[in-house]
Amino acid sequence: MTYAEKVMENLREKYSWQPVFLQAVQEVLQSLKPILEKNPVYERYRILERLTEPERALSFRVDWVNDKGEIQVNRGYRIQFNSAIGPYKGGLRLHPSVNMGILKFLGFEQIFKNSLTGLPIGGAKGGSDFDPKGKSDLEIMRFCQAFMTELYKHIGATIDVPAGDIGVGGREIGYLYGQYKKLTNRYEGVLTGKNILFGGSLARTEATGYGVVYFAMAMLQARGESLKDKICVVSGAGNVAIYCCQKLLEIGAKPVTVSDSRGMIYDPAGINVEVLQQVKERERASLTRYAELVSGAKYTPAADYPEGRNAVWSVPCFAAFPCATQNELNLADAKTLLANGCKCVAEGANMPSTLDAVHEFVKAKIAYGPAKAANAGGVATSQLEMEQNASMQSWDFATVDAKLKQIMDNIYTNAAETAKEFGEPDNLVMGANIAGFRKVADAMIAQGI
């Protein structure tokens, strides 16, 4: 049994109730084989055992009062996974499915993603099982204040800098920041994704969606292809999906789908991003509203999806951008995409493809950009926001966007060259995992036990 297999077996015994965490670890450990074989020092320093155990995992109670005056109790978490190369950094997710296992998967992924950006940031993730759907503005505010009343003790501009994720956008970051400031009397870059009025960075809102398109462009350029005039499918209808569609349209590609947890839109004329923003960002409505506003757009409720599978993946396309959530694209979906001629998959969401779907894409040698490389634009731009806060500056949109594009190009080059170095030039899963791992592992060794 190899070193990686031994570590994996041990984790399976210890954390059998955290399947998505085990899935994320397995994907990474499988692709680290060649670097572990070449460098026994990693086993001697027990790097895998140390990397797969968070430095600190906080769990706390969040009490708040709803509009009817009733007391509500939620669970809050922050996983400070690894700080070898910088302060902890990673988003906060508000979704009823949130638990320790989901946040450990996200925090673990974040270590390698942050390392790949080339910036000095460690890995973390947090959130709560609070469900923001159907809550009033005041309820969201009271929850955010209660959540921060515990979290503030553990974060700081050079300690741990949270950002948004599912269910956490500009509004929530504003309420969290206001409470942090009130509790600490400090005006500092402790959260990213802030409003531009109080320390936010231009282009942060757009960064993950734009970044995933920049990454796809880099992969395709290396193959002598491009997205221009190509049909694309996008899943999700939140922050990442909206700005992925916007950038695709800007570069002359045609995104024809978006989806949320209740259904999907197929719009053969190309997604109308202004209408999508109105429906999702301002009205916070269902996608049925998009179909009401755009003639020719077709809405399919999730209940009508064939065999419960996301119908987005059965729309023939040149490129696919999963931008909703984990495990939203399975082996059958991967086969359908490939059979319909899909040549590029770039992941905006974290771990949207199941392990067997990932293997299918790698085997087919299409341009496949795994999440930790393709969606790193969000956290990279968050770090640019930290840089601006620390130096009391604000850069214009074009400056931040140009830095983002450069970072995405660098991530692609780093992953592609590392894949080549280890003998599998088309395998960006291997390239991204090894490149992200090497920097963190070497930093851990250099810092001693």
236 binds ligand NDP (CB under 6 A): yes
240 binds ligand NDP (CB under 6 A): yes
74 binds ligand NDP (CB under 6 A): no
Q: Known catalytic residue: 125?
A: yes
Comparison of 179 and 208: residue with beta carbon closer to ligand NDP? 208
124 binds ligand NDP (CB under 6 A): no
Rounded Cα distance, 80 and 382, in Å = 17
167 binds ligand NDP (CB under 6 A): yes
165 binds ligand NDP (CB under 6 A): yes
166 binds ligand NDP (CB under 6 A): yes
What is 247-290 written as a DSSP string? HHHHTT-EE-EEEETTEEEE-TT---HHHHHIIIIIS---THHH
Cβ proximity of 122 and 87 under 8 Å: yes
E strand or H helix that includes residue 75: strand 71-82
The CB-of-277 to ligand NDP minimum distance in angstroms stands at 12
Q: Counting Cβ atoms within 10 Å, is residue 284 exposed (0-12), middle (13-18) or buried (19+)?
A: exposed
- The residue range among 62-70, 233-241, 337-345, 405-413 that interacts with ligand NDP, by the rule CB under 6 A, is 233-241
164 binds ligand NDP (CB under 6 A): yes
- The residue range among 63-71, 146-154, 163-171, 425-433 that interacts with ligand NDP, by the rule CB under 6 A, is 163-171
Comparison of 7 and 163: residue with beta carbon closer to ligand NDP? 163
- The residue range among 40-48, 78-86, 139-147, 319-327 that interacts with ligand NDP, by the rule CB under 6 A, is 319-327
104, 113, 125, 254: which one is catalytic? 125
DSSP 413: H
Rounded Cα distance, 162 and 88, in Å = 8
Residue of the chain from 85, 264, 323, 434 that contacts ligand NDP (CB under 6 A): 323
262 binds ligand NDP (CB under 6 A): yes
Residue of the chain from 261, 292, 301, 447 that contacts ligand NDP (CB under 6 A): 261
Within positions 333 to 372, which residues make up the interface with ligand NDP, using CB under 6 A? 348-350
Q: What b-and-e string marks burial along 345-373, b requiring 16 or more CB atoms within 10 Å of the CB? A: bbbbbbbbbbbebbbbbbebebbbbbbbb
Q: Strand 122-128 relative to strand 88-94: parallel, antiparallel, unpaired?
A: parallel
Comparison of 217 and 324: residue with beta carbon closer to ligand NDP? 324
Q: What b-and-e string marks burial along 251-282, b requiring 16 or more CB atoms within 10 Å of the CB? A: eebbbbbbbbeebbbbbeeebbbebbeebbbe
Cβ proximity of 264 and 312 under 8 Å: yes
Could you list the residues that contact ligand NDP (CB under 6 A)? 164-167, 208, 236-241, 260-262, 323-325, 348-350, 375, 378
Active site residues: 125
